[in-house]
Chain A
Amino acid sequence: MRTGPHPAAAEGNLPLVAHADPRSVAAWRRGEPVTAGRLLADVRRAAQCMPEGGHLLNLCADRYAFSVALLAAVTRRVTTLLPPATTPAVIDALRGFAPGTGFVSDNDADLPDLPRIPLAFSAPGDPECGTVPLVEGSRVAAIAFTSGSTGAPQPHAKRWGSLFRNAAAEARRLGIAGPGHAILGTVPPQHMYGLESTVLLPLLSGAALTAERLFYPAEIDEAIRRAPPPRILFTTPFHLRNWLESGTTERLETIVSATAPLSEALARETEARTGATLLEIYGCTETGQLATRQPTVSAQWHAYDGVRLREEDGCTWASGGHIEEPTALSDLIDIDPGDAGRFHLRGRAADMVNIAGKRNSLAYLDHQLAAIPGVVDGVFHFPEEARPEGVTRLVAFVVAPGLTPEAILAALRSRIDPVFLPRPLVMLDALPRRGTGKIPVEELRRLAARAASSRLREDA
């Protein structure tokens, strides 16, 4: 355990990448190796196009391009912003949070209304880089946002030292020590889990990332065949189920799932069919990763080195390890009485929802609904359906006499990530609010059941 000064101040300079040998493989692009020296040359070239300081939205879909832009930004003291979505309302909020924020992208789809910063790579004939730049551990490399409960995204600063220690702890847990592993992922690098595991883990442990974003099952199959073993696939329960249902016959060494708990049945099927060891990671945007487990061996979570949990004020707090300051978790947790590094997850706090791995708070979504001109009252509801690894959608009840459901949906679409759009959106004359202004959850369940049964009658 560390004591004394702030850990970020104590650790001095850290390398930009962990590949000590510039000839070692840092990335795979379409099956071709990219050396660490070439990656660093690309980072140097990209940094030349970037202004010093300020903030950057990194929209690159290709993980290699994302990594080059991220590392170039770190060397130029540019902080990468990781918002929960890129809807026009979120872009507006970013502009208010950090005026002058620019963006980089490797494609021309869905460009935000922000200044574009060009992204350049080294030319094939350019010399590779032989030395690894150093970065102060205290440098804020990224700011991740959670939706919070006040209607405004909440910023969480990620210092290079903290990101470095998180990646080192993850590498130790996964048995990565230097070059050799190929890291595959179905999760985008713009979210914390994807950033930590499919970008920073390989860059800061000496393993190799893969550039391709894997979406369809056929792409996962091809990436596994193309990458040299040992391979680690980072995915989510939803993508894992979709991939297994496609009938895949690929085998690999390790699969890691995160963002939502996996059912034991899917965990067993995954290990039996792929031959892989299946691990789960538990973490959140605020703290980064906290713990792992192998669900076919034990339901208990095992915290990363140095990370400790404690109960206080009816809440579980995490501290130690890479966590910069004690942080309250939004899940219900039973800590092992004999070991503060071992625990069971009992569920999420009542206000939090998780849809296909994306988290949000109902209070935030209610704020977004209420902010639409013409909406008099409105509330989101998460139906408690038992659909392991399936996708349960939200329901919204809305009072808006002058608006159509289509107009409300269009307004919501410009504000929130599409996975949180209500299905269905039910128009009502009034919401059953009690004297305190609260709506009892039983009332919401009753309204949801009534909406479902009227739908069935229409179908009949």
Chain B
Amino acid sequence: MMADPIDNPPAARPPADEALVREIAEQVVSALNLEVSPGDIDPRAPLYREGLGLDSIDILEVALVVSKRYGFKLRDDDQENLRIFRSLESLAATVAERRTK
């Protein structure tokens, strides 16, 4: 996987569209068997700790589902990792930018 999309220079991010945010919210809720309904997750609230309360185990599960569904891989040495999982909206923006399917 030499051509990892993270090697690309940061470009202007397209605004996350609502349908994609909702689609990812549904996948997160179903992958993690969460207590909330997808529509109730604040797209700008933090995904981990206070906020949705996800931990590193959840992040691995979400990364797996997202990488299968949208065809790109996440890496931790990527400086942007914290930003990607900052909120549903930032995760959706990353998906929109890097997806290959």
Given A218-B1, A424-B35, A242 contacting B60 (CB threshold 8 A): yes
A459, CB-defined interface residue at 8 Å: yes
Evaluate contact between B57 and A238: CB separation under 8 angstroms: yes
B23, CB-defined interface residue at 8 Å: no
Evaluate contact between B37 and A215: CB separation under 8 angstroms: no
Q: A409 to B50, alpha carbons, bound, how many Å?
A: 9
Evaluate contact between A242 and B64: CB separation under 8 angstroms: yes
Task: Give 1 or 0 for each of A203-226: 1 = CB within 8 Å of chain B CB.
Answer: 000000000110111110110000
B61, CB-defined interface residue at 8 Å: yes
Evaluate contact between B73 and A216: CB separation under 8 angstroms: yes
Evaluate contact between B64 and A219: CB separation under 8 angstroms: no
Evaluate contact between B76 and A219: CB separation under 8 angstroms: yes
Instruction: Specify the main secondary structure of chain A where it touches its partner.
Output: helix
List the B side residues contacting A172 at CB < 8 Å.
Answer: none
Q: Determine, out of A189-197, A289-297, A413-421, the stretch whose residues face the partner at the interface.
A: A413-421
B101, CB-defined interface residue at 8 Å: no
Given A215-B60, A246-B64, A419 contacting B55 (CB threshold 8 A): yes
A239, CB-defined interface residue at 8 Å: yes
Evaluate contact between A409 and B57: CB separation under 8 angstroms: no
Closest partner residue, chain B, to A241 (CB atom)? B64
Evaluate contact between A217 and B57: CB separation under 8 angstroms: no
Evaluate contact between B57 and A356: CB separation under 8 angstroms: yes
List the A side residues contacting B57 at CB < 8 Å.
Answer: 238, 356, 391, 419
List the B side residues contacting A345 at CB < 8 Å.
Answer: none
List the A side residues contacting B68 at CB < 8 Å.
Answer: 245-247
Instruction: Specify the main secondary structure of chain B where it touches its partner.
Output: loop
List the A side residues contacting B55 at CB < 8 Å.
Answer: 418-419, 421
Count A interface residues, CB 8 Å.
28
Q: A163 to B17, alpha carbons, bound, how many Å?
A: 54
Evaluate contact between A409 and B53: CB separation under 8 angstroms: yes
Task: Give 1 or 0 for each of B45-61: 1 = CB within 8 Å of chain A CB.
Answer: 00001100101110011
A423, CB-defined interface residue at 8 Å: yes
List the B side residues contacting A391 at CB < 8 Å.
Answer: 57, 61
Closest partner residue, chain B, to A406 (CB atom)? B50
Q: A459 to B34, alpha carbons, bound, how many Å?
A: 11
Cβ 8 A contact of A215, one of B50, B53, B76: B76
A455, CB-defined interface residue at 8 Å: yes
A315, CB-defined interface residue at 8 Å: no
Task: Give 1 or 0 for each of A291-312: 1 = CB within 8 Å of chain B CB.
Answer: 0000000000000000000000
Q: A421 to B57, alpha carbons, bound, how many Å?
A: 12
Evaluate contact between B77 and A219: CB separation under 8 angstroms: yes
A177, CB-defined interface residue at 8 Å: no
Evaluate contact between A218 and B53: CB separation under 8 angstroms: no
Q: A162 to B17, alpha carbons, bound, how many Å?
A: 57
Q: A424 to B68, alpha carbons, bound, how many Å?
A: 28
A111, CB-defined interface residue at 8 Å: no
A49, CB-defined interface residue at 8 Å: no
Chain B residues in the interface with A (C-beta under 8 A):
1, 4, 34-35, 37, 49-50, 53, 55-57, 60-61, 63-64, 67-68, 73-77
24 residue pairs A–B, Cβ–Cβ below 8 Å = A213-B76, A215-B56, A216-B60, A216-B73, A217-B63, A217-B64, A218-B1, A218-B4, A218-B73, A222-B1, A238-B60, A239-B60, A242-B61, A242-B64, A246-B68, A247-B68, A356-B57, A391-B57, A413-B50, A418-B53, A419-B55, A421-B53, A421-B55, A423-B34
Contacts beyond the supplied A246-B68, A424-B35: 18 A-B pairs with Cβ under 8 Å: A212-B77, A215-B76, A216-B63, A216-B73, A216-B74, A217-B63, A221-B1, A238-B57, A239-B60, A245-B64, A246-B64, A246-B67, A356-B57, A410-B50, A413-B49, A418-B53, A423-B35, A459-B37
